[in-house]
Amino acid sequence: MTRILGIETSCDETSAAVLAGSGDAVALESLVILSQDVHRVFGGVVPEIASRQHLIALVPVVTRSLADAGIGLHGIDAVAVTNAPGLVGALLVGVSFAKALAFGLGVPCVGVHHMEGHLFATALEHADAVPPFTALLVSGGHTLLLDVEAWGRYRLLGRTRDDAAGEAFDKVAKLLGLPYPGGPHVERLARQGDPSRFRFSRPMLRRNQQPGDDDYYDVSFSGLKTAVLHAVRGSTPDDAAHIARAFHDALVDTLVEKTARAAAQFGRTRVVLGGGVAGNRTLAESLRERVRRLGAEVYAPSPRLATDNAAMIARAGLFHFERGERAPLDLNAFASQPLPGLVDA
C-alpha cells in the first residue's frame, strides 16, 4: 500500500489530494481544489497572475488536504506532481514545491503528464473505467482520441487540428456574451435553443470516410467557431440560444461519431471520457446512445473530477511510482510534451 500526495498547478486550479492503495484498488482520502476566480474579469487565464496565485494558495491547499486525510506530512510515501503540459510559470510552482517537499521528507517524487491524469480520473469514480477502453479526452487545451490497451499503453488515433473542444466552447461563449469559462454556460443556453433554427456543418465528417483516411479520427473546430461568428453578426439577441444549440449539436455530433468509430474499430466495450468538457451531460448522453448498439458502456467523470484536480494526478502518479519510476531532482516543467506511453498506431 502506498499513500501518495498529488499536486496540480498547470492552469488556474490549485489542487492537492491524498490517495492510498495499490493498482486499481485505491481510495481517495482527500481532494482540495481552489479555483482562481480572478481570471473571470479578464475573460481568460492570465499566466503571471495564475503563477502568483498558486504561490499564495499551494501551502494552505496542501495543508488542508493532509488534514482532511487525517495525516501529517510524514504519512506520505511519495509525491506526484503535474510537470507538463500547461502554463510553464504555473507548473513551476507545483514542481518546485513538490521536489522540495519530497527531498525534505526523503520520499520519491514522480512527474505526471496532465492529460494522462485526465485519463485516470474517471476510474476514481467508476471501478469499470479501466483498460482496455476507448478514451476521449476533451479539455481547454487538448482534444485526444485514444485506444487504451492497458495503463501506460496508448494508441493516439485522432486529435484536433486547431482549437481544442473546450477552447471552442470558451470562444463561442465569448461571441455570445457569456462568462468565462464558457462550457457550462453554452451547454445551459443550448438546452433552451430550437435545433431547427440554425445548422452548422459537422467538421471533418464526410460520408465514405475510411479508417485509413487521415481525417477519419481527427477533429477541427475553428471553422465551426467562424460559422458561429457569422451567425451572431446577422442575428437578434433572441437567437443566442438557437445559435448555442446549433454549435453544441455540431460539436457533440462530431465527437460522438469519431469516438464511436474508434470503439467499433478496436472492438472496445468501454468508452471513457476525461477533461473539463467531459462534464458536459449532453456529450455523455449522446455518446451513450450512439455506442449502445455496439454493446459499449460510457463512463464520464463528475464535474469535480472532470475539471483539473490533483486526485487524477495522484492516481496516474501512483501507476508510475509502482512501475519504479522516480523523478530526478532536476525535474522540469514543459508547456507541451507528448503523452507518455504512446505506441504506434
**Site residues, ligand KG4 (CB under 6 A):** 11, 139-141, 166, 169-170, 181-184, 187, 275-277, 279-280, 307-308
What is the C-alpha separation between 127 and 121, in angstroms, rounded?
11
- C-alpha–C-alpha distance, residues 18 and 70, integer Å: 10
The whole-angstrom separation of Cα 57 and Cα 225 is 35
> Of Zn ion, ligand KG4, none, which one does residue 182 interact with (CB within 5 to 8 Å by kind)?
ligand KG4
Q: Which does 203 bind (CB under 5 to 8 A by kind): Zn ion, ligand KG4, none?
A: none
AA identity, residue 185: H
Q: Among ligand KG4, Zn ion, none, what binds residue 216 when CB lies within 5 to 8 Å by partner kind?
A: none
- Joined grid coordinates for residue 31: 481532494
Question: Binding partner of residue 277 among Zn ion, ligand KG4, none, CB under 5 to 8 Å per kind?
Answer: ligand KG4
Q: What distance in Å separates the CA atoms of residue 89 and residue 48, rounded to the nearest whole number?
A: 7
Query: Do 310 and 33 meet the contact criterion of CB atoms below 8 Å apart?
Result: yes
Partner whose footprint covers residue 163, from ligand KG4, Zn ion, none (CB < 5 to 8 Å by kind): none
Q: Which is nearer to ligand KG4, 30 or 139 (CB)?
A: 139
139 binds Zn ion (CB under 5 A): yes
Cβ neighbour number for residue 100 with a 10 Å cutoff: 13
Which listed option, ligand KG4, Zn ion, none, makes contact with residue 249 (CB within 5 to 8 Å by class)?
A: none
Residue 98, number of CB atoms within 10 A of its CB = 30
Whose Cβ is closer to Zn ion: residue 12's or residue 308's? 308
The item of ligand KG4, Zn ion, none sharing an interface with residue 141, based on CB under 5 to 8 Å by kind, is ligand KG4
Minimum CB separation from Zn ion for residue 106, in Å? Answer: 31
- If one asks whether residue 14 binds Zn ion (CB under 5 A), the answer comes out as no
Minimum separation from the CB atom of position 313 to Zn ion (A): 10
Strand ranges, E, within the chain: 2-8, 13-22, 25-35, 78-84, 109-113, 133-138, 143-150, 153-159, 270-274, 297-299, 342-343
* Angle, helix 222-233 to helix 165-175, in steps of 10 degrees: 10
Stretch of 60-68, 146-154, 304-312, 314-322 contacting Zn ion, by CB under 5 A: 304-312
CB of 140 to Zn ion, least distance (A): 7
Q: DSSP secondary structure string, 151-202? A: TTEEEEEEEBSSS-HHHHHHHHHHHTTPPSS-HHHHHHHHHTS-TTT-----
How crowded is residue 206: how many other Cβ atoms within 10 Å of its Cβ?
9
- Segment contacting Zn ion by CB under 5 A, of 50-58, 135-143, 146-154, 203-211: 135-143
Of the listed pieces 72-80, 160-168, 294-302, 308-316, which binds Zn ion according to CB under 5 A? Answer: 308-316
Using alpha carbons, list the distances in angstroms from residue 95 to 7, 60, 103, 307. 8, 16, 12, 20
Q: Which is nearer to ligand KG4, 187 or 239 (CB)?
A: 187
The smaller minimum CB distance to ligand KG4, of residues 117 and 158, is found at 117
User: According to CB under 5 A, which residues from 111 to 130 bind Zn ion?
Assistant: none
- Least distance to Zn ion, CB of residue 114, Å: 6
In angstroms, give the least distance from the CB of 330 to ligand KG4.
25
How far is it, in rounded angstroms, from Cα 5 to Cα 10? Answer: 16
**How many chain residues bind Zn ion (CB under 5 A)?**
2
Residue 122 binds which entry of ligand KG4, Zn ion, none, with Cβ cut-offs from 5 to 8 Å by kind?
A: none
Q: Does 308 engage in binding with Zn ion (CB under 5 A)?
A: yes
Residue found by looking up cell 451567425 in the block: 231
Tell me which residues touch Zn ion (CB under 5 A): 139, 308
